[in-house]
């Protein structure tokens, strides 16, 4: 059987081939380009934002160079309230001397004092605690804690344990009863990093 293609069928096949070619060109070239053009404003806005950030960093670069020495001076000034950490025995002696001076100004006699081992706070600083026991009136205790807070070096109170030396069970028969407290107190000082001390 012989297939005969008429002129009308040839034109229809040619139009079909042309439509398929147009479809392929549109789907492979035109539509992806259109999609890229549609996304172009968002990409341009993102690149503009990055450019703005880069410009801001370049403008601040000189300011950071100027801020580093200022920050170093401020850190050095802040570290003056720390105990020198290059020698633990000197730091211990300085802390004990400071605590004795505070106790003397507060009119407190320290009965027992124990220097505990230094412990690491972080990679830069260590803490040196001292445990003390003494008897004092409430006013003397408040005065001592105020003097600890006002000390020239940075001191923190880690623990306080207060008990009455003689509990009152009844009203005093003559005169006023002197209130006396037994205090166990742990005070800690921060040590300056050894490589910066000196």
Question: In this predicted model, what pLDDT tens digit does every residue of 107-136 receive, in sequence order?
Answer: 999 999 999 988 888 888 889 999 999 999
> Is the residue at 54 inside a domain?
yes
139-167 pLDDT, tens digit each: 899 999 999 999 988 899 999 999 887 76
Residues 13 and 19: their CA atoms lie apart, in Å, by 10
Do residue 43 and residue 67 come from a single domain? yes
> Is the residue at 50 inside a domain?
yes
Residue 106 clears pLDDT 80, i.e. is over it? yes
Q: Which pTM was predicted?
A: 0.58
Domain with residue 112: its CATH number is 3.30.70.60
Q: Looking at residues 45-74, what average pLDDT do you find?
A: 86
Rounded percentage of the chain residues whose pLDDT exceeds 90: 29
Confidence class for position 171, pLDDT limits 50, 70, 90 = low
Residues 116 and 127: their CA atoms lie apart, in Å, by 10
Q: How many domains does the chain have?
A: 2
> CA dist 131 to 4, 41, 107, 185, Å?
114, 68, 18, 6
Residue 195 clears pLDDT 90, i.e. is over it? no
Do residue 33 and residue 60 come from a single domain? yes
Residues 114 and 105: their CA atoms lie apart, in Å, by 20
More confident residue, 102 or 79: 102
Do residue 97 and residue 153 come from a single domain? yes
Residues 145 and 134: their CA atoms lie apart, in Å, by 13
Boundary-marking domain end, from 50, 81, 112: 81
Residues 151 and 145: their CA atoms lie apart, in Å, by 10
Do residue 123 and residue 184 come from a single domain? yes
Boundary-marking domain end, from 46, 61, 81: 81
> Is the residue at 198 inside a domain?
no
Boundary-marking domain end, from 59, 81, 103: 81
């Amino acid at each position: 059987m012989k297939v005969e293609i008429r002129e009308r069928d040839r034109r229809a096949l040619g139009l079909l081939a042309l439509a398929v070619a147009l479809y392929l060109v549109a789907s492979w070239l035109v539509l992806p380009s259109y999609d890229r053009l549609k996304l172009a404003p968002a990409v341009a806005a993102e690149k503009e934002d990055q450019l703005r950030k880069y410009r801001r960093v370049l403008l601040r670069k000189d300011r950071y160079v100027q801020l580093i020495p200022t920050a170093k001076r401020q850190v050095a000034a802040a570290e003056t309230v720390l105990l020198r950490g290059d020698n633990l025995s000197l730091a211990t002696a300085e802390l004990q001397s400071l605590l004795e001076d505070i106790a003397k100004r507060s009119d407190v006699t320290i009965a027992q004092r124990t220097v505990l081992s230094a412990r690491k706070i972080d990679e830069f600083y260590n803490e040196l605690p001292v445990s003390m026991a003494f008897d004092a009136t409430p006013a003397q205790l408040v005065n001592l804690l105020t003097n600890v807070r006002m000390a020239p070096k940075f001191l923190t109170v880690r623990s306080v344990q207060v008990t009455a030396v003689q509990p009152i069970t009844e009203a005093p028969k003559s005169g006023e009863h002197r209130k006396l407290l037994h205090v166990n107190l742990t005070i800690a000082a921060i040590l300056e990093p050894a490589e910066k001390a000196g």
